[in-house]
Amino acid sequence: MSDLFQPYRLGELTLPNRVVMAPMTRVRAAEGGLATPSMATHYAQRATAGLIVSEGVQPSLIGQSNPGTPGLHTDEQVAAWRPVTDAVHANGGRIFAQLMHGGRVSHPDTTGLQPVGPSAVPAVGEVFTPTGPQPTPTPRALDTAEVPEHADAYARAARRAVDAGFDGVELHGANGYLISQFLSSNANLRTDRYGGSVTNRIRFAVEAVSATAQAVGGSRTGIRLSPGTSFWGVEETEVRALYTELLTELAGLGLAYVHLEATTDEEVLVDLRRAWPGTLIMNPVLPMGPKQTDRAAADHWLGKGADLIAFGRAFIANPDLVERLRTGLPIAPVDEATYYQGGDAGYLTYSAYQHEA
């Protein structure tokens, strides 16, 4: 079994350990979707992770899900990200940008635009807006001719990410956002080549990943997936067949990795590990669920064939998480009230472990 603290070769990068900081929305961006000096400090503080995956970054204005999130679709956004990636690299780290198109999980009050999706089916729940949570609106179903434009949005943002100094990108194909909506059997009611059969439902994901890999190279491209997820009310039929076929289609692209969430039975996840010939990042617990990833969960999945392990919430309150895991130091609890409140409290105010004299 691989050790969590062994180095790992990921594309052209050498990771000093197998700990990945998972993407986590923190809504600290400035107006215009600009990264800030506080964001540079936040990520640099956590640069001992083998790999950092940034918070979700919208690849287009219509792809923005929440207010206060950063983008990678303007020159100003690229310039704002450069101090962030420079700070991470100066501290010896490596960082991928997660490209997140919200699809139907958005609101006109946030973007000024009607959200789009594979079909005119609203998400379940309320979405954040500048004036507070509101019911998710009914999206406009994309015309067949429009779909490739939204797949290409990931590739355009990936080019900007590389220009901004990111080491690569992760497409957010999970948790009920646009790629996940196309994979879904209840958010995607299309009857054209993007809907219906498993082969058609995976088409948008394959086109988005292929365009991105062509734009910046497969070794700089990853994708996050949540097999069987129910986030935002999505449902998926034929989960094992759906994701096995998707991974088979992606296998020839030379991708940096696939990042799986524990959103279905372990038996299915292990089968998907067998189906995927490349690097696997495993997120061992349900995102936003009752448990946080710990050393035991990490070791369990390394034993099941994962190459890298994603830690989410534990990184918020523990910028020195790698050292705490390595030496068995206590993991500090996080103040959930500060997740999305903005400002530096609960963002820059967590410190490394303080040893008693």
Classify burial at 132, counting beta carbons within 10 Å of its beta carbon; exposed 0-12, middle 13-18, buried 19 or more.
Answer: exposed
User: Considering only CA atoms, which of 45, 68, 54 is closest in space to residue 312?
Assistant: 54
Classify burial at 119, counting beta carbons within 10 Å of its beta carbon; exposed 0-12, middle 13-18, buried 19 or more.
Answer: buried
Contacts of 70 (CB under 8 A, 6+ apart): 29, 33, 34, 35, 39, 55, 57, 58, 77, 80, 81
Residue positions annotated with a catalytic role: 177
First-residue to last-residue Cα distance in the chain? 37
Can you spell out the DSSP letters for 309-345?
A: EEE-HHHHH-TTHHHHHHHTPPPPPP-GGGSSS-SST
Tokens for 132? 């507070």
Which residues share a beta bridge with 15? 8
Tokens for 106? 């958005």
The amino acid occupying position 346 is G
Separation of alpha carbons 10 and 310, rounded Å: 15
